[in-house]
Structure 1
C-alpha cells in the first residue's frame, strides 16, 4: 500500500496541535482551571440594600480590623451594607464578637456547630451566654444537626451529642430572645422533630436551606425563615429553586456562607460577601420579580429578623 500525504503514522505530529505538544497543552488546561478556582469572581452589578445573612469573615481572610474593613468596603460597593459573621467553635466565636466591634457593618452569631457539639461543656455554655448578652451578637448559631460527617470524621460529634447540644442552644435562644440559626445537613426529620418537641423559639432561621419543596412548606407553615445561598443558582438545584419559589416574601433571606458555595457561574471559586448580588438576582429570577424589589425584600427581612440598625 502506497502511503499518501496525511496517512503517515507520525506519533510526534499526532501529539502536536498547532505546534504545541498535546500533553503539554493538557497540563496547561488543568493549570488554568486550578488558577481560575483561586481567582475571585468579578464584581457583580451593584444591587443596593442587601444584607449577607450568614458569612464567615475569618475564613474569608478577615482576621484583623483592617482586613475586615477591606472585605466590608468591597461588599458595600456592590450594595451589601451589613453582614452577620458566624462562629463554628469557641475560638471562632470569640473572634466573631471582636469583628462585630471592629466595624459597624458587621454583626455576630455565636454557638457551637453541631460537628463541635462535644465541646459544649459548662465553661463553653457560660461563655456563650456571656457573648450573647452583647448587643452586637444578634443570633444563636450556627447550631443544629449534621448527619453527614459522623463516621467520616473522627473529630465530629456523635448524633446523640449533637442532639443534646441542639436542645441546649434552643433553650438558650428562647431565654435570651434572639433568633436561632440552624445548620441542617441530611437531618431534616430529626431536626424538625426536635424543634417541635422542645417548642421552637419565636424566630428560627434555616441557614443555607437545602431541603426540597415539602420540607420548605413544613418550615414555612411553622413560621421559620428560609435563607438561601449560592446553591440555589446551581444547575442541579431545580428542587431547591422550587422551594425558593414558594417561600412567602416575609420569610426569605439571602446569604453567601462565604467562603463556600459561590454562586453560578463561579461555582468553586472563592466566595465573599460582595458576591451576594449574584444569588439575590438568581432568587429574583426564580420568583419572577424585579432585582431591585427582591433586594429590598431580602434586606428588609434581614434587618427585621436580626434587629439591625438602619443605615
Structure 2
C-alpha cells in the first residue's frame, strides 16, 4: 500500500465510537455525498458519529452545512490560533452567529500555538480570551488547540475563568501536565499521536487519565495512528487508536469504547442536538 493511500478499514468496533475532532473538509469532502461517503466508511468501522471542526471562517460555515447534511455529523466553530493575526469585529460577529446553530456542539478549535509563527502570541492570546467568553456565553464546550503553550493556556483559562467544559484536543502534554488538567476538571482528547512509539509523554498521559475525562479523535486528515502513520487519515481510524489505547490501559476494547463514547455524549450533549435541518 502506498503512502498516499488510505489505511484499510479495520474490523468494526464492538460498540459505536465517536470521533471527537476531525476536519471533513480537509479530508476532501465538499458536498453532502462526499461527507456521507466518509462517514459511511467510519460507520463501517464502528465510528458512528463525528465532530467536524473549523479552523477559519470559511471552514466554520462549511462545518455547519456539513452537520446539516448528515445527522451523524456535528460541528465546532472558531478561528484557529495561527490565523488570529487579523482577527477583527466582523470575524467575531460571524462566529457569534454560527455558534448558535443547533448542530454546533463546541467552540473550537481555539487556544495557543507557539510552534508556528503565523500569528504572534499577543493576538493569539486576545483571540483565545474572546473564544473563552464565547463558550461561556453560548453554554457550549471550549475545544482547545495547545501546541508548545501549556502554561499560558492554563494561565489564561484561570485568569478568564474557564467555561463549564474544556476539552484539550489532540492532547500533547506529558503525565504531569495531564494530571494538572484533570485536577481542573478538563477533558483530554487523544489522537493518533498517543499511538506513536516515540510519544512516551503523551502515552503516559493517556494511561492515567480517568475515562470520564477522556475522548478519542483523529484530527483527520492528520496524525494517522500506528501502524499506518504517514498515510492519510479519516474518522474510521479512531478504531485503530481505540485498540491501541485499550491495550495501553489494560482494558477491553469494548470497555474503553463505551466509556469514551459516554464522555463524548456528555461533553457535547449529543442526545440534545436536534436532527439535521436538510
TM-score interval w.r.t. the shorter chain?
over 0.9
1:87-140 per-residue CA deviation (whole Å, 9 max, x = no partner) reads 000011110010010000000000000001123211111111111111100000
Number of residue-to-residue matches in the alignment: 272
Corresponding residue to 1:157 among 105, 119, 122? 119
Compute the displacement of 1:309 (Å).
2.4
1:264-292 per-residue CA deviation (whole Å, 9 max, x = no partner) reads 01000000001111001111111110001
Question: Unaligned stretches of 5+ in structure 2?
Answer: none
Deviates more, 1:218-227 or 1:190-199: 190-199
Counterpart in 2 of 1:45? 11
The two structures have a TM-score, normalised by structure 2, of 0.96
Alignment of 1:193 with 2:160, yes or no, is: no
Corresponding residue to 1:214 among 164, 176, 185? 176
Counterpart in 2 of 1:279? 241
CA distance in 1, matches of 2:85, 2:74: 26
Cα distance, 1:209–1:131 mapped onto 2, change above 3 Å: same
Corresponding residue to 1:255 among 204, 217, 221? 217
Corresponding residue to 1:64 among 17, 31, 49? 31
Counterpart in 1 of 2:201? 239
SS at match of 1:38: coil
SS at match of 2:271: coil
CA distance in 2, matches of 1:249, 1:39: 32
Q: Which structure is higher in RCO with an 8 Å CA cutoff and minimum separation 6?
A: 2
CA distance in 1, matches of 2:208, 2:183: 11
CA distance in 2, matches of 1:119, 1:76: 39
CA distance in 2, matches of 1:180, 1:54: 12
Compute the displacement of 1:200 (Å).
0.6
SS at match of 1:104: coil
The two structures have a TM-score, normalised by structure 1, of 0.86
Corresponding residue to 2:190 among 228, 244, 255? 228
Alignment of 1:87 with 2:54, yes or no, is: yes
CA distance in 2, matches of 1:286, 1:101: 36
Matches within 5 A, 1:126-141: 126-141=93-108
1:242-267 per-residue CA deviation (whole Å, 9 max, x = no partner) reads 10111111000000000000000100
- Say which one has the larger Rg: 1
CA distance in 2, matches of 1:158, 1:63: 31
CA distance in 1, matches of 2:161, 2:42: 37
CA distance in 2, matches of 1:38, 1:251: 34
CA distance in 2, matches of 1:123, 1:44: 44
Deviates more, 1:119-128 or 1:50-59: 119-128
